[in-house]
Amino acid sequence: MSPIGQIVVSGILLQATQADAFSQIQNDVLLSSSLWVNIALAGLSALLFVYMGRGIASNRARLIWGATLMIPLVSISSYLGLASGLTASFIEMPAGHALAGEEVMSQWGRYLTWTLSTPLILLALGLLADANLGSLFTVITADIGMCMTGLAAALVTSSYLFRWLFYAVGCTFFIVVLYALVIEWPTFAVEAGTSDIFRLLRTLTIVLWLGYPIIWAVGVEGLALVQSPGLTSWGYSVLDILAKYVFAFLLLRRIASNERIVSMTGRELATESATV
Ligand code: RET
């Protein structure tokens, strides 16, 4: 077949799988409600965050606010992609998988859009802790690597082993992120004077983020112990609500009420307390 013919055929196939995914999502109330609840909450959160940020003036606090505001906006695009069937497809599971030979629906768009939303969460947390540029860069890069290997693990169908190899690489990237959150950034946060709110948000982040690889492993893409796409999708959606909107709300509330501390870097604070 000519290259043009191939492009036309793959275009038609893509349209067909998109339409199939869309009708399956539409007909599954559990699944579609898990998406639309998030779209509604993301919209409300974006409006609330604009309102909460109206008085924030200093550079660092505005940067944290900007990163935080983008979280629900990215989320709306992500969930619209899933609800429309654009970023969900049926993939045939390879030999060795519990559903080998069957077509299962993968919401692969989630992993793709996490590459945008999770760096924003880490940027906001890193700025709050006043982490140095090197550490911020390493953690955010590892985080993007984690999401991209999660996407590869979900989509690779040539061999079951490769699914778990990509998953294992994703977990290795995740360890880099956890190391910074548990060991490195708390010390920066003490120097920056933001230790109390940092500790709360860090604990929330660690506990919730650990849920994502667990859902991947037990859901249809991994061991298929839970085979309902609606249940898996609700699992991710509940984690998203807490890890994004509740997280961002707590962070912005503190920044708005305590802008002076957040606007200073650790060095400025130390100089100020030495002169008092
Ligand atoms: C994957 C599979 C590969 C191994 C690991 C994973 C971790 C995912 C995480 C996602 C967090 C997402 C958030 C989204 C908010 O928009 C990719 C499931 C470790 C931690 C917070």
- Tell me how far apart the alpha carbons of residues 44 and 219 are, in angstroms, rounded to a whole number: 29
Q: How far is the CA of 111 from the centre of ligand 1 (A)?
A: 7
Q: Give nearest CA residue, ligand 1 atom 20.
A: 209
- Tell me how far apart the alpha carbons of residues 192 and 268 are, in angstroms, rounded to a whole number: 9
Here the ipTM equals: 0.99
CA angle 40, 43, 44 (to 5 degrees): 90
- Tell me how far apart the alpha carbons of residues 35 and 48 are, in angstroms, rounded to a whole number: 20
pLDDT at residue 17, as a whole number: 78
Q: Which residues contact 263 (CB under 8 A, 6 or more apart)?
A: 58, 59, 60, 61
Pocket perturbation via mutation, ligand 1, pick of 174, 178, 215, 247 by most ligand atoms within 8 A of CB: 174
| Helical (H) or strand (E) element with 130 | none
- Tell me how far apart the alpha carbons of residues 115 and 145 are, in angstroms, rounded to a whole number: 8
Tell me phi and psi for residue 264, to 5 degrees.
-95, 145
Range scoring the smallest mean pLDDT among 14-18, 121-125, 166-170: 14-18
Radius of gyration of the chain (CA): 21
State the sign of the Cα–Cα–Cα–Cα dihedral 81, 83, 84, 90.
Answer: positive
- Tell me how far apart the alpha carbons of residues 82 and 109 are, in angstroms, rounded to a whole number: 7
Q: Give nearest CA residue, ligand 1 atom 18.
A: 213
Q: How far is the CA of 34 from the centre of ligand 1 (A)?
A: 18
Q: How far is the CA of 247 from the centre of ligand 1 (A)?
A: 16
Could you give the count of Cα atoms lying within 13 Å of 80 in the half-sphere of its Cβ?
9
Residue 211: CB within 6 Å of ligand 1?
no
Q: Which atom of ligand 1 is nearest to the CA of 211?
A: 20
Q: How far is the CA of 256 from the centre of ligand 1 (A)?
A: 29
Q: Where are the alpha helices (DSSP H) in 84-226?
A: 109-129, 133-155, 160-179, 185-192, 195-218
Q: Is-contact 130 191, C-beta < 8 A?
A: yes
- What CATH number has the domain bearing residue 158? 1.20.1070.10
- Tell me how far apart the alpha carbons of residues 218 and 114 are, in angstroms, rounded to a whole number: 19
Q: Give nearest CA residue, ligand 1 atom 4.
A: 170
DSSP reduced 3-state for 219: coil
DSSP reduced 3-state for 64: helix
Q: Give nearest CA residue, ligand 1 atom 7.
A: 213
Query: Mean pLDDT score of the chain, rounded to an integer?
Result: 91
Q: How far is the CA of 213 from the centre of ligand 1 (A)?
A: 6
How many domains is the chain partitioned into structurally?
Answer: 1
Q: What range does the domain containing 44 cover?
A: 3-275
In tens, the pLDDT along 145-173 reads 999 999 999 999 999 999 999 999 999 99
Q: How far is the CA of 147 from the centre of ligand 1 (A)?
A: 6
pLDDT at residue 51, as a whole number: 95
> How much of the chain, in percent, has pLDDT values that exceed 90?
82
- Tell me how far apart the alpha carbons of residues 101 and 105 are, in angstroms, rounded to a whole number: 13
Q: Give nearest CA residue, ligand 1 atom 2.
A: 150
Max CA distance (Å), the chain: 79
- Tell me how far apart the alpha carbons of residues 204 and 211 are, in angstroms, rounded to a whole number: 11
In tens, the pLDDT along 167-196 reads 999 999 999 999 999 999 999 999 999 999
Q: Which atom of ligand 1 is nearest to the CA of 243?
A: 21
Residue 173: CB within 6 Å of ligand 1?
no
Q: Give nearest CA residue, ligand 1 atom 17.
A: 150
pLDDT at residue 276, as a whole number: 42
